[in-house]
Amino acid sequence: MAEMPEAHPEDSGRNLRTYGQGAPNVTARRELSRPKESELMDAVVERENMKRALRRVQANKGAPGVDGMNVEELLPYLCREWPRIKEELLNGTYRPAPVRTVEIPKPGGKGTRMLGIPTVLDRLIQQALHQVMSPLFEPYFSEFSYGFRPGRSAHNAILQAQAHVESGKRWVVDMDLEKFFDRVNHDILMSRVARRVSDKRVLKLIRSYLQAGMMQGGLVSARREGTPQGGPLSPLLSNILLDDLDKELERRGHAFCRYADDCVIYVQSQRAGERVMESLTRFLEGKLKLRVNREKSTVDRPWRRKFLGYSMTFHKKPRLKVAPESVKRFKSKVKEILRRGRGRSLRRTIDTLTPILRGWSNYFKLVQVKNVFEELDGWLRRKLRGILWRQWKRSYTRARNLMKRGLAEERAWRSAANGRGPWWNAGASHMNEAFPKSFFDSLGLVSLLNQHRRFQGAT
């Protein structure tokens, strides 16, 4: 543990064209090398497994937990304390620290989501558990489960959803699980884990993580249900629990896609969809003790719903597009950055925007209806012109700067004194002529449309 190899990503993404491939066959499953299930904890604390977990935790960085220890302090701490921690893990006496809870706004600004931040030591142990447990469960998961799995991504799920609709299943059952991570029943989850894990030390440790207290405002409260988002083990545990849903859908022969707790089932008629909704609600609430949000769950046309931020057109061969809600969230995020940038130079504001624009365009690279990128490019340039108009403040400053950008004196003064607001002026001809697209290109502003064209050319 004392020497640190260079960090590197553990999982490589699967080619998008292989999204339909299933899990390994029975022979391949037998060939997977794995520790005996009764000796799983020994594999968890094994040196190479812990070194690999440490690399991952250090690469992910993250905020400190309740003990205030940051990632940089973890290795020196382990050099002193690892023999004791290892012994506690092996004899089943290790106790996790409470998680530090923070509330983050949900996408769209409707409500908040509780995020649990374990200590860096507990993140390390959870990561080590994940690395040893994942090979036990991964080969048996459904081929239509895409969230938090090696070699799979949201893009794979979106392409599969498109294929389901193209096959003629033009109604979607959109299931919404109410506060899924807060509602997980510990006993039901542990019974699913115990199907493939027989090491009682591991089972006891997982349950202790589920029941670890939550610290908020300096007070620790016990937890009797739920698995807080934020720990490395939570995604695997959610897949283990919801695998029962996947298997039930497969048993019934349904076409579906699931990404974490986001599940959509594609059927051929509205009536069939309503039957599926009713029976699956009974299954989820009866067998898994999960609550279906009836207000948000619905049976509808796929082009009127979103899945993982995407929507699609109504054509026989549907084309993927950005869902309207995703555009709204993008604009909201950009507006917040621009509000903070009113006192800064335009170049600094653009530098702040660059990673967000690149990340957004990369996520929506599958989109086949490109007009949204062109519209957002124009909207963003107009917002930036509005920042300039606000920064100039006085008519004299506005006229002088417009003349510097090539406008005739009379027109510059007339435009500067028009009495209109920043948004109107940002879209008016005088600001468009003074600050054309080429001006923003020279400052390094990322064009979403150009990014999309590059992605399309690459594929």
For 341-385, how does the pLDDT look when each residue is reduced to its tens digit (9 = 90+)?
677 889 999 999 999 999 999 999 999 999 999 999 999 999 999
Q: Identify the pLDDT of residue 228.
A: 63
Which pLDDT value is given to residue 113? Answer: 67
Mean pLDDT of 430-443: 96
Whether the Cβ atoms of residue 22 and residue 143 lie closer than 8 Å to each other: yes
The letter for the amino acid at 190 is M
- Which residue in 385, 383, 386 sits closest to 439, CA to CA? 385
Residues 6+ apart with CB under 8 A from 142: 23, 243, 246, 247, 249, 250, 258
Hey, what's the torsion of the CAs at 314, 319, 325, 327, to 10 degrees? -140
Is the predicted pLDDT of residue 76 greater than 80, yes or no?
Answer: yes
Mutual orientation of helices 71-91 and 120-137 as an angle, nearest 10°?
Answer: 60
- Range with the lowest mean pLDDT among 97-111, 220-234, 241-255, 290-304? 220-234
Task: Please provide residue 303's backbone torsions phi and psi, each rounded to the nearest 5 degrees.
Answer: -75, -5
Sign, Cα dihedral of 358, 363, 368, 371 = negative
Alpha helices in 266-321 (DSSP H): 270-287
pLDDT score recorded for residue 279: 96
- Proportion of the chain above pLDDT 70, given as a percent: 85
Query: At how many degrees (to 10) do helices 346-363 and 324-340 cross?
Result: 160
Q: Which strand (E) or helix (H) includes residue 415?
A: helix 409-416
Q: What single-letter DSSP state applies at residue 70?
A: -
Paired with 267 in beta bridges are: 171
pLDDT 10s digits, 216-266: 555 544 555 556 677 899 999 999 999 999 999 999 999 999 999 999 999
| Interatomic CA distance for residues 208 and 196, integer angstroms | 18
What pLDDT is stored for residue 116 in this prediction? 79
Report the distance separating Cα 431 and Cα 415, nearest Å: 9
pLDDT average, residue stretch 408-413? 96
- pLDDT band for 178, please (50, 70, 90 cuts): confident
> What is the structure's pLDDT at 344?
85
pLDDT exceeds 70 at position 18: no
Q: Measured between alpha carbons, how far is 81 from 50 in angstroms, rounded to an integer?
A: 14
What per-residue confidence (pLDDT) applies to 443?
95
Task: Say whether pLDDT at 420 is over 80.
Answer: yes
pLDDT at 401: 96
Binned at pLDDT 50, 70 and 90, residue 30 comes out as very low
Q: What is the mean pLDDT of residues 61-65?
A: 88
Residue tagged 């468009």 (tokens): 432
189 pLDDT higher than 50? yes
Please tell me the pTM assigned to this model.
Answer: 0.83
Q: What is the pLDDT of residue 263?
A: 95
Angstrom distance (rounded) from CA 211 to CA 206 = 9
Nearest one of 203, 146, 171 to 19, comparing CA atoms:
146
Is pLDDT above 50 for 336?
yes
Q: What is the pLDDT of residue 10?
A: 35
For residue 11, name the pLDDT band (cuts at 50, 70, 90): very low
pLDDT, averaged across the chain: 87
Read off the pLDDT band of 32 (50, 70, 90).
very low
Structure tokens at 172: 């979607």
420 against 5, higher pLDDT: 420
Q: Which of residues 390 and 14 earns the better pLDDT score?
A: 390
The most confident of 60-64, 95-99, 110-114, 421-425, by mean pLDDT: 421-425
Q: What is the mean pLDDT of residues 181-197?
A: 90
Give the tens place of pLDDT for each residue, 115-173. 778 999 999 999 999 999 999 999 999 999 999 999 999 999 999 999 999 999 999 99
> Which helix (H) or strand (E) segment is 458 a member of?
helix 448-458
Paired tokens of 199? 């090491």
List, in order, residues 6 or more apart from 340 with CB less than 8 Å away: none
Rounded CA-CA distance 126/205 in Å is 10
Which of the four pLDDT bands, split at 50, 70 and 90, describes residue 19? Answer: very low
Question: For residue 180, what pLDDT is reported?
Answer: 81
Residues 6+ apart with CB under 8 A from 371: none
Whole-number pLDDT of residue 115: 77
Annotate 219-236 with DSSP letters as a single string: EEE--SB---BTBTTHHH
Percent of the chain with pLDDT over 90: 74
Task: Let me know: does 400 contact 456? Beta carbons within 8 Å.
Answer: no
pLDDT(107) > 80: no
Q: Is the pLDDT of residue 73 over 90?
A: yes
